[in-house]
Amino acid sequence: MNVLVVEDDVELTQFIQKGLVSEGISVATAFDGVIGRSMANENRYDVVVLDVNLPGVNGFDLCRFIKHNWPAVPVIMLTALGSLDNKVLGFEAGADDYLAKPFAFKELLFRLKALARRHPARAPRPKRLELLDLAIETDSHRVWRGGERVELTAREYALLEYLMLNQGRVVKRIDLLENVWDVHFNTNTNVVDVYINYLRRKIDHTGPKLLHTVFGVGYMLGAEP
């Protein structure tokens, strides 16, 4: 497991790092939000641990940044702000878990392992994915269809990338909910269908149809059969 800890308390950071390393976990650290944002942008982590009161960029804003760009990366807030209102703010920012200080290290460890189990590490993504005249660059999140640039929102891009990584296969709605939206509980939502329609308008309005509905099952990205 590869963990990023963004915490401005040096002693606490060293305590967490020492404990996690003793468990065989790789740990990267940052002492302010600006450096933490840069590290999150340049590297992939299995779990990110964030304090809230950080210099530069606060933990809530950093959480939003991470979840906007990498929705599947789990984030746990670790902070002295343990009131219900602050927990609500954390979850609204996209946090997957919230642990108030002071805390027992063993509880932090178990929570990190639980998050990692629910978000298993994936193989490194190829830098470029192609299907006929549709192409995406996974580092820059740029998309082209027929040589023309296609502008997508972060969520639309995440959906397209997941379908591209599974091109030619029927992907169930529940798989999309879990891997693109990180939703494991509300399977009745129609958010997948809504975003599929958004995506169709942007990538399927010219050229051969690539995004197909398999009724009662899910969706498939591929050439016309």
CATH no., domain 2-118 = 3.40.50.2300
Distance of CA 88 to the CA centre of its chain: 19
**Domain with residues 128-221, CATH architecture:** Orthogonal Bundle (1.10)
pTM, 2 dp: 0.56
Parts of the chain belonging to CATH 3.40.50.2300: 2-118
pLDDT (tens digit per residue) in 81-123: 777 888 888 888 888 999 988 899 999 999 998 888 876 655 5
169-179 pLDDT, tens digit per residue, is: 899 988 888 77
The three-class DSSP label of residue 76 is: strand
CA distance 225 to 215: 15
Rg for the chain, CA atoms, rounded:
19
